[in-house]
Amino acid sequence: MLNNKQFDVLVELERGTPVTAKEYLRMKTSNFYAVCNELTEMECLKNFTVTKTGYELLEPYRVKRAVLLAAGTGNRMKPLTYSIVVR
């Protein structure tokens, strides 16, 4: 099981390059290297790269379904929206 800091580090390293993730997490997590060492001991990281075990721990948090809601007046489609009735 991952704690919040471990999850944040693992997600950021999975998303981008380690340098970018390190810069981002330096602001967010003061002990980036300590968390990386914990993840390395858990065999989730190897040389700042997410391992198969790391991906398996992240899998339950992956978004599998999403609903997009949109609203607005449809200004660009005004002539068409005046003539169509939605029931």
Contacts of 36 (CB under 8 A, 6+ apart): 9, 45, 48
Give pairs for 51-56: CB < 8 Å, separation 24+: 54/10, 54/14, 55/14
Give residue-wise pLDDT tens across range 10-68: 888 888 765 566 666 665 656 788 888 899 999 999 988 899 999 999 999 888 898 88
Give pairs for 26-29: CB < 8 Å, separation 24+: 29/5
What is the arithmetic mean of pLDDT over 64-76? 79
Q: How many residues does the chain have?
A: 87
pLDDT score at 56: 94
